[in-house]
Amino acid sequence: MVLKTFDVNDSFPIKVQPLTPESFAKFGDIISAKHQIQDSSNNSSSANYGTAIKIHKVSRITNNFNNAPSNIKPTANFNIFRCSPPNHLITRDHHNSSLNYLSKVLERHPYSSQTFLPMGVDKSKDAYVVICAQEGEGK
């Protein structure tokens, strides 16, 4: 896929909010036992002789590659990315202790959904930021 670049001289700040199933819903799913156990609309059941809760159907897989110009055959799949913080793109504003992150890349997924599975973070360190926008937002 050809990458398209944009002039970011007129960039604007984006306020960071917690990544939750509700805040990410229009883009895909968050698999978070904490959030999904609290959501009474989720279908769950007891498992492992009462020592676990099984939360059913925590992430949908949307794959519309049959509509893509590439004619890639659609398949259901999950890929795992283990990411490291882009520390070279993060600066700290010492006046108000805020962090600033310069985003250099945004991806498009016009034919498939995304699922995020937070896998733990040391809360004493800066964490991961997911930037999402509907097509046409932020212009």
What pairs with residue 101 in β-bridges? Answer: 90
pLDDT band at 120 (very low <50, low <70, confident <90, very high): low
- Helix, strand, or coil (residue 112): strand
CB 133 within 8 A of CB 106: yes
Decide: 55 and 36 in contact? Cβ < 8 Å.
Answer: yes
SS3 call for 44: strand
Asked if 25 contacts 19 with a C-beta cutoff of 8 angstroms, the reply is: no
- Model confidence pLDDT, tens digit, residues 90-116: 888 888 878 888 887 777 777 777 777
| The model scores a pTM over 0.85 | no
Going from the C-alpha of 52 to that of each of 26, 38, 43, 46, 47, the distances in angstroms are 29, 15, 14, 6, 5
User: Could you read off the pLDDT of 29-68 as tens digits, one per residue?
Assistant: 787 777 777 776 667 888 888 888 888 877 777 778 888 8
Does 71 score more than 70 pLDDT? Answer: yes
CA 98 to chain centre: 22
How far is residue 118's CA from residue 37's CA, in Å, rounded to a whole number? Answer: 15
